[in-house]
Structure 1
Amino acid sequence: MALSAHRWRNTAAAVAAAGLLVLGQRVPDAAAAEQPRIDLRVLVVDNGDSPVRAIAAQLKSTGIPYTTVDLTDANRPTITEAFLSDTVNGRPRAKFQGVVLPNETPFGAGSAEQGALESYERTYGIPQVDAYTWAHPGVGLDYTSEGGWAGTLDGRAAAVTDAGRAGYFGYLDGAFTFEDNDGAVQESYGYVARPRTGFTSYVDLPVPAGSGRGSLIGEYRHDGRRELVVTFAYNEHQQQFRVLARGIVEWLTQGVHLGQSRNYFAVHVDDILAPDSRWDTERNCTPGDFDCVGGDGEGTTPIRMTAEDAVHAAQWQREHGFTLDMVYNAGSGEAWKSEHGGTDPLTDQLLADKAEYRWINHTYTHPFLGCVQDTSTVPWSCAENADGSTRYMSRSDIAAQIRNNHNWGVTKGLPLDRTELVTGEHSGLRTLPQQPDDNPGLAGALADNGVKWIASDNSREPRQRSVGAALTVPRHPMNVYYNVGTEEEMVDEYNWIYTSEADGGSGVCETNPAATCLADPLDPATGYDSHIVPQEARTALGHVVSGDPRPHYAHQSNLAEDRTLYPVLEQVLADYQALFADNTPVQNLAQRAIGTELQRRAAWQSALANGSVTAYRVGDTVTVTAPSGTQIPVTAPEGTTRQLFIGTTAFGTPYAGERSGWTTPELLQTALKLNLPS
């Protein structure tokens, strides 16, 4: 029996002799008309605690519609049979495919609302997640005093059980560790307890100061109902929740739902072919920058990759099965060549390996494409015309920078997509506080060159937006600085930013409420590997496991000299591979594909918010209607097929043990129809 079919049969509640209708299981043909309609929507009962909010965040990011009942709202709807179910064209309808509760009895044991909810779950076979509760017999667990334990879970190693791997947590390799980012702060509290009859543990850990293993997540079957019982506290940002969130949601929806979730990691390397300025460890600034007092950069050795660095980059990619996006400035490379005897071994080597990378236009010479900068003051300001208006780089000059760089790449045979662009410093786009609006000539210059996807800085503009006919692709800046070539330089600049004035730093961390000062300066010899690499890798991995497709970016200087970027990337990839099974590979997408993913997500969220999506299941058939042209994301078990006007075809692509994808109704169809494996 296939795993997907095994799941379906083992997740349905027992059918009572009276013939109660059950989600995920066929009824006899004679009673086919009695099969209920199960709407693909989740009910979230919210008491304001972080575990419920975390699951709701996962539902939203996945693209699963849900209805929230706020227990703190005096005007909230009452949970009744009519609220939960009704009939549509004579067919019984369950309005929710799953229920998320803050605990097992948020309305009070024996209350009318609790009774209505439990009756609904029994009648339609609807699963319930108890977002966070304590260990006790009411949820199928022994008290912690009976061979269990309760306390802080920070730094403890947990594992997915055999039952979990055989079910909806099978996308994990098995083991993971609870975060412990600050030894002085309790980050996770939980109850580790022994299961009773009817309870199947999916995630457990060794009982601290005891023997055997105790459950942290498991399924409790009782009274014709099923509950997923979670006995540790969490929030949406903690890594342990992020890696388990998929399994919680797939169990809740029994693997059939709107939306999809995949893990993404892409890295742009800016300034390829151009040199980068070097941090001055004596003056604590970057010579050549207008705010670096006492030097214009003359005599300072810039940082630029060598041919050997290029050889290493290609070899590293092959060894790690990961493709970098080379964001290049051809004009800067040509200038370097002319200043160095007409030869450039770096460019020659990169071109020899050109097919191994993705390439993105970064403009010809990396100028600032926004307003003309007046650097006579710190910070700089926008220069003004005689009439007081802002002076901008012209549309024609911007267009020439884009066109010339693209044309150079075409003559060199680079595998380019002309619709993609990264401007130097994300310039041309609004830059607060000096330039609150885009350069008025930018949108036209993009259109002149067929650019549809322009990179933006996620730390400034996390939302995708329009620039004329183009859309932004926000990028995560990596905390591996552009102006350092060695680990020691990196630590020096890091200490300047993140230590107090008393410790020799700038003191910015003391005046910026969003920053935190280091307790002590990092050791120049060891601080990069011991502190910066794990810190930056943890941040990047957090983006990856949260399903965020936005690319990260660093600079060519980080592939030169000490090659500071590789340890971070290697840590991210190694940690990911240790967490996830082979059926859940990281998705390494091009900028255009990332932009398309963000665009589809925004359109889908808009359709859900407008109430213009209808989705339900009757037996083994799923039907979805959405506004014409809307790409519909769906996740379903292996073996699911799409119903064509004539015949069927396989649905989606495999990921994490299921199939998912963006799709639309077939020609001559007004709704998307999927056939689930029986």
Structure 2
Amino acid sequence: MGRTTRLATACTAAAMLTLTWPAAGMSSAAATAAAVTPRIDLRVLVVDDGGPATQAIAAELDSAGTPYTTLDLNNAARPTITAAYLSDTVSGRPRAKFQAVVLPNDNPFGAGSAEMAALAAYETAFGIPQVDAYTYARPEVGLNYAQDPGYIGSLDGATAAVTATAGPFGYLKGNVPFEDNSPTVGESYAFLATPLATQAAGATFTSYVDAPIQGSTARGSLVGQYSHDGRRELIVTFVYNQYQQQFRLLARGMVEWMTQGIHLGADRNYFALHMDDVLLGDDRWNPTLNCTPGDVDCAVGTDQSDPDPIRMTPADATYLKQWSAANGFTPDLMYNGGGSEDYKAEHGGTDPLATQLIADKNAYRWVNHTYTHPYLGCVQDVSVVPWKCSTTATGAVVWTSKADITAQIKDNTTWATQHGLTVNKQELLTGEHSGLKILPQQPLDNPNLATSLTATGVTVLGSDNSRDPQQRKVGPALTVPRFPMNVFYNAGKASEEVDEYNWIYTRAADGGSGICEGSATSTCLDTPLDTATGYASYIVPLEARTDLGHVLSNNPRPHYVHQSNFAEDRIAYPVMEKILGDYKNLYAASTPIVNLRMADISAELSKRAAWDTAVKANKVTAYRIGDTVTVTAPSGLQSTASMPVGTRQAQLVGTTAFGGAYAGQLSGWVAPGALQSSVTLKLTAAATPAVVTATPAKAAQSAQTAKAKAPAQALPVPTGATDPVPYGPGDTGKQKQHRKHTKAARR
């Protein structure tokens, strides 16, 4: 049975008859709408108590672009939940204003709460699912108390699993590992309990995710569906924040469950890798000087040059092609054609590396990285450390000229054409992201950059996510923020990487620079890493875990390393292999990594920004009536949606395919067809949620049960769930933006 079918079946199990009015708590105007299929608006109600669990779900909805309304329980001026707040009638048709409800727990209100009764009646009347973001195990939610067998406490480092009845979590392969980033900080807390052997009449509990109960052969539920009194609740008995891997793995399924697989917004797992400086040689870290010859703060000789740069060999190029094919992963080669020409001039007119890469050119995507990688911002004054922008006698900043920038772009494009490389001329990455603002020395973009981009037709421009994280316009171009990986540009050997890592992330008392001490952007190592083993044992798993966090966050931004990391010890590969390997161990084949080229990433970020703006301004309307979903958005704006397999877009004549397959669903961007002002999507019969029975008796019973249920007690929340625990040096606050030791005036 497919996942979408299971979702439809679960919904159908709630009831099979037509809507009958009036239900308890519903307005009397609904009485005239008997047997009319209701309208369900595609919007989620998030009742927020300020805890990390509800905020994590809200963050997932934000990331996907799924509309929701927040009701803040801590705000005394908030609206009161009543029948009128939840539903009304539009053109004689009953309307549910929310397709799902997210609560902090199964009953966050006081005993006998009229608000909880209104919610229960509403959910019963319209078949609206309810997510209990974090609650404890007890009979009121279909579970035994967490005792005999049972467990209450930390799950740090434990491995949960998707059950055979995977429900909406069928996109996972099986295991759901819980993070354990610090031995001294609690990061998770859970109640593990078994379902009641004898449920109340008509009630059932189906566990979707469980974990072994310590000291027992039983397994306790962590996520499960409790069906009762004509309602469905998703019971989650562990706490989490939006950054933790266990939540990232389950977030998609939570949303699909609550929306019954029908919602605005989409969530995919993205990973693209940019290899900077291809065909150049990168300066090498000097472990004696604790700096990089060629950098302004590490002059060696009168020409400030590095006598031993790192450059890939033909054998490294051959290995790259073989690795790419074996792993089914295409990297982006950010090339500098002038590097090859300089190498030829110094080595008898030949460049075996370029010859090999060009022979394998179709194995990669090629991106213009300028011809010789000069600094394209202000003219740097390197007579001081740190460098500053050169100025005229009147104090005006001296900028790299439009002619020089344009030549760098055009010469590199010409070189690619001469060597048969296919290059998208709209894409550009400048050396060190130069030309763009960099604080504190250059707070403005080089004004000549925008005019050069116009002259060369560049519309996609790479930037550094660690210092310029939002996509923005630069002349005709939109930036693509890139995540820097903590595999340094100036390391070809593992020992060099570890030595520099120690220098940056070790206290002065331990022989390091002390930069990490008191830093707001990095933390210190407890002790220096062993240069022989530290890379494999510490840096690789740390960096892979951080980067995998980006992949699981519906974030299309690419990552970048340098060609030096694919030479000599080839230190980039262990990180890449762990990212890809861990991903394959977690996800089913239906949910592959999406690897986009830079222009497509730019387009995705741009469409998301426009969509998010329209959603937050309440300019998007979407609803479902039976098997038909209607989406209306501002003219010219594409909408994003996720729908069950088999969904098609209705045109004036006939239908056309909708979206692309991913994680057992269809999702994608969609616009109205010819001569249409809105998008109409048609669901298959199997995927259409059944219209529920909402008799006065059943709604009254559900409301009475909700009133009788004791409110959930205050639940324990460990420090690591309220204040996310960093993975390690360079990852404070789980923002995943590492300090990267970058080049400065190296050429």
**Structure 1 residues 242-261: Cα deviation after superposition (integer angstroms, max 9, x where no partner):** 01100001101110000111
Could you give the per-residue CA deviations for residues 527-572 of structure 1, whole angstroms, max 9, x where no partner exists? 0000000000001000001111000000000000000100000000
Q: Distance in 2 between matches of 1:143 and 1:482?
A: 54
Which of 111, 114, 122 matches 1:112? 114
Could you say which residue in structure 1 is the equivalent of 2:71? 69
1:402 aligns with 2:409: yes
Task: Report the Cα offset of residue 16 of structure 1.
Answer: 6.5
Q: How does 1:215-614 map to 2 (within 5 A)?
A: 215-293=221-299, 295=301, 297-298=304-305, 300-614=307-621
Matched, 1:177 2:177: yes
Q: Which residue of 2 aligns with 1:204?
A: 210
Q: Which runs of 5+ in 1 are unaligned?
A: 23-30
Q: 1:73 to 1:293 in 2, by over 3 A?
A: same
Q: CA deviation at 1:298?
A: 4.7
Q: 2:84 aligns with which of 82, 88, 91?
A: 82
- 8 Å contact from structure 1 (residues 192, 215) kept in 2: yes
Q: Which moved more, 1:324-333 or 1:291-300?
A: 291-300
Deviates more, 1:407-416 or 1:276-285: 407-416
Q: What displacement does 1:2 show?
A: 5.7
> Residues 501, 277 of structure 1: CA spacing in aligned structure 2 closer, same or farther, 3 A cutoff?
same
**Secondary structure of residue in 1 paired with 2:190:** strand
Q: State the distance in 2 between where 1:648 and 1:595 align.
A: 30
**What amino acid is the match of 1:328?**
Y
> Match for 1:553: what amino acid?
Y
Post-superposition offset of 1:610: 1.5
Structure 2 counterpart of 1:365, which letter? T
Amino acid across the alignment from 2:510: D
1:28 aligns to what?
Answer: none
Tell me which amino acid in the other structure corresponds to 1:38.
Answer: I
TM-score, normalised via structure 1 length: 0.97
Greater Cα shift, 174-183 or 465-474: 174-183
SS of alignment partner, residue 99 of structure 1: strand
Q: Is the 8 A contact 1:21 1:124 kept in 2?
A: no
- Tell me, yes or no, if the aligned pair for 1:284 and 1:493 is still in contact at 8 Å: yes
Deviations 1:63-93 (A, max 9, x none): 1000000011111000011110001111100
Change (3 A) 1:346 1:85: same
C-alpha displacement of 1:292: 1.0
Confirm whether residue 156 of structure 1 aligns to residue 158 of structure 2: yes
Report the Cα offset of residue 15 of structure 1.
4.5
Q: How many residue pairs get matched? A: 669
Q: How far has the Cα of 1:182 moved from its partner?
A: 1.1
- Partner-residue secondary structure (3-state), 2:165: helix
**Residue 27 of structure 1 corresponds to which residue in structure 2?**
none
- How far 1:19 sits from its partner (Å)? 3.7
The answer (yes or no) to whether the contact 2:20–2:34 under 8 Å persists in 1 is: no
CA contact (8 A) 2:294 2:306 kept: no
Measure, in 2, the Cα distance between the counterparts of 1:102 and 1:500. 42
CA contact (8 A) 1:21 1:125 kept: no
1:667 maps to 674
- Aligned equivalents of 1:583, 1:353: Cα separation in 2: 30
Deviations 1:366-409 (Å, cap 9, x if unpaired)? 00000000111111110012221111001111011001101110
Higher relative contact order (CA 8 A, sep 6+): 2
Q: Secondary structure at the match of 1:418?
A: coil
Partner of 1:662, secondary structure, is strand
Q: Report the Cα distance in structure 1 between the residues aligned to 2:190 and 2:420, rounded to whole angstroms.
A: 57
Deviation, 1:290, is: 0.9
Shift of the 141–446 alpha-carbon distance from structure 1 to 2, 3 Å rule, reads same
Larger mean CA deviation between 641-650 and 292-301 belongs to 292-301
Structure 1 counterpart of 2:40, one-letter code: I
Query: 1:421–1:451: 8 Å Cα contact kept in structure 2?
Result: yes
Moved over 2 A (4+): 1-7, 15-22, 293-300
- Contact kept? 2:293, 2:306, Cα under 8 Å: no
Is the Cα–Cα contact under 8 Å of residues 19 and 35 in structure 2 kept in the other structure?
no
Amino acid at match of 1:362: H
- Distance between the aligned counterparts of 2:16 and 2:124, measured in 1? 10
Distance 2:192 2:35 in 1: 45
Alpha carbons 1:369, 1:423 under 8 Å: kept = yes
Amino acid at match of 2:468: E
Partner of 1:143: 145
What is the aligned partner in structure 1 of residue 47 from structure 2? 45
* Change in CA separation of 1:21 and 1:60 when aligned onto 2, cut-off 3 Å: farther
Q: Is the 8 A contact 2:380 2:387 kept in 1?
A: yes
Q: Take 2:332 and 2:350, find their aligned partners in 1: how far apart are those partners?
A: 24
Residue in 1 that maps onto 2:731: none
Residue aligned with 2:457, SS: coil
Q: Mean alpha-carbon deviation: is it higher for 236-245 or for 2-11? A: 2-11
Offset of residue 208 of structure 1? 1.3
- The SS at the match of 1:351 is helix
* Structure 2 unpaired stretches of 5+: 24-32, 686-747
Quote the Cα distance in structure 2 between the aligned partners of 1:543 and 1:298.
Answer: 36
Contact 2:3 2:170 in 1 (8 A): no
Checking the alignment, whether the CA contact within 8 Å between 1:20 and 1:124 is kept in structure 2 is no
**Post-superposition CA distance 1:146-179 (Å, at most 9, x none):** 3111111011111001111xx2101000112101
Deviation larger for 126-135 or 144-153:
144-153
Q: Deviations over 1:488-533 (max 9, x none)?
A: 0000000000111111100111131332111111001000000000
- Aligned-partner residue type, residue 161 of structure 2: A
Contact 2:336 2:368 (C-alpha < 8 Å) held by counterparts: yes
Q: 1:578 to 1:212 in 2, by over 3 A?
A: same
Q: Measure, in 2, the Cα distance between the counterparts of 1:585 and 1:209.
A: 37
CA-CA distance at 1:460 after TM superposition? 0.6
Secondary structure in 2 matching 1:163: coil
Q: What letter matches 1:187 in structure 2?
A: E
Structure 2 distance, partners of 1:500, 1:335, is: 40
